[in-house]
Amino acid sequence: MTGRYKAYPKYKESELEWLGNVPEHWEVEYSKWLFQERNNKAKATDEMLTASQKYGVIPQKMFMKLEQQKVVQVQKGHGILKKVLEDDFVISMRSFQGGIEFCSYNGAVSSAYVPLEPKKRELSCFFKYLFKSKPFIQALQATSNLVRDGQALRYNNFIQVRLPVPTSEEAESISNFLDHETAKIDTLIAKQEKLIELLKEKRQAVISHAVTKGLNPNAPMRDSGVEWLGEVPEHWRKIAFKQVIKTRKGVAFSTSDFCDNGIRVVKASDIKQLSLNLSDVFLPKDFITKYPKAYLAQGNIILSTVGSTPDVRNSAVGQIAMVPQKLDKTLLNQNTVVFDPIGNAINRNYLFFVLQTRAYRDHLDLHAHGTANQASLNVADMLDFKCFIPLIDEQNQIAEYLKKLLRTVTGLETKANSAINLLRERKTALISAAVTGKIDVRDWKPQGV
């Protein structure tokens, strides 16, 4: 990072392992000299502006409505809301993996958060980056073993970490530099994310067209009689999944049988984005013969039948994956079903592509049984899907065409994701270097200025 930017002329030892050497003129001060815990009770009469709820800050309008409905009791000991002012910082007492949050608005927080009132507000622009930097987060995490065990993070944890303090003019220079440079990085990340979305749309469109219209643009067509489908190749035949697919469900293994090694278990939650994650759950080796219906082989198609939210589109229910070689000879847990082609009626790879279409996802959404916190699917409903398919030879051709084309799309997605990761790493490194004084940006100016 210092190769592109100059270092400060002179440094001194900070005596802090996480901080290392700092510019000679910087101070290193105790946190309690710079911040105090804000314990002011919030009132509906406070002049509070709209605030983001992302970090637990309640907007003014919502806060006043809740108070009127007596949902929150701001004047009583139970459920007290604390005032937060613009340029304050907020510690989440339960989770601090992302550092301490900067508050851009006036508002209120619950007792699950600790508002920090800066004693030198002119330095807030600097601390908003320091408190999100990797070195500081690691130093904060190291203040107590209890924190890593999921216990509450308190103000006492925060004040154990001493902080670097530049001059107010320098704090503003560092903030302006990071505002500008991180915005450029965020723009590049957004472009890569947009590319990934376009590639996903391309993938969806190519698959949908191939399995509903075929590969021959000159093939004679006929009306399918299905409004969303329109015309289909004349020689394709209409089928229901239940005619060409046989199923077997995963097994509800007893958690008492799980162990640290043996035969790996595939869970419904392992099915993510058309692939399978490696679980850390195993069963004894003799379970392979005890539960033959749960046995998985490479190429098996798995679908989840239960998800975490009541609608299919945003739930883990109905997720699909094909078993890769690394998960050959594993065991399938509950809330899942295997779709196996019956004979040669449908090509396994072709079926996998049909399952990826929006039409089948819509079918699952229509038949999902939602409750307050999850969605579930009945296998009979999953098999009631109807579509048109060609003869097996044409299915093979379509499947091979799609596999080849999607390898290219997947390669582009992989490159875009790699670019995003590199950009995020650069952003993290840039912030860390600037707020710990490893680079000197006092003379920095935006290009063209």
344: CATH: 3.90.220.20
337 CB-near residues (< 8 Å, 6+ apart): 247, 248, 249, 250, 302, 303, 305, 379, 382
Residues of the chain with pLDDT under 70: 1-3, 41-80, 93-97, 145-152, 309-315, 371-372, 448-449
Residue 174 CB coordination number (10 Å)? 24
Supply the pTM of this predicted model: 0.79
Q: Evaluate whether residue 222 is within a structural domain.
A: no
Residues 372 and 311 in one domain: yes
Same domain for 246 and 375? yes
Using CA atoms, how far apart are residues 394 and 51, in angstroms rounded to an integer? Answer: 57
Gap between the Cα atoms of 381 and 366, Å rounded: 10
Is the same domain home to 335 and 399?
no
Same domain, 431 and 309: no
411 falls within a domain: yes
- Domain of 139, CATH number, reads 3.90.220
Q: Does 226 fall in a domain?
A: no
Q: Are 313 and 364 in contact (CB under 8 A)?
A: no
Same domain, 369 and 241: yes
Is 278 exposed, middle or buried, given 0-12, 13-18 or 19+ CB atoms closer than 10 A? exposed
Q: State whether 270 and 324 are in the same domain.
A: yes
Asked if the structure places residue 231 within a domain, the reply is no
Q: Are 185 and 423 in contact (CB under 8 A)?
A: yes
Total domains, the chain: 3
Does 33 map to a domain?
yes
Identify which of 376, 323, 354, 361 has the alpha carbon closest to the alpha carbon of residue 240: 354
- Examine the domain organization and report whether 153 and 187 are in the same domain: no
d(CA 318, CA 301): 12
The one-character DSSP state at 279 is P
For residues 205 and 190, state if they share a domain: yes
Question: Residue 42: what pLDDT?
Answer: 61
The answer on 137 and 56 residing in a single domain is yes
Considering only the C-alpha atoms of the chain, give the largest distance between any 2 of them, rounded to a whole number of Å: 81
Full 3-state SS string of 105-161: CCEEECCCEEEEEECCHHHHHHHHHHCCCHHHHHHHHCCCHHHHCCCCCCHHHHCCC
Tell me, what's the pLDDT at 80? 64
Name the β-bridge partners of 369. Answer: 376
Give the Cα separation of 106 and 84 in Å (integer). Answer: 6
Domain boundary among 130, 163, 196: 163
385 and 419 belong to one structural domain: no
Contact 108, 58 (CB under 8 A): yes
Expressed as residue numbers, the domain containing 146 is 29-163
Among candidate residues 372, 389, 406, the one where a domain is terminated: 389
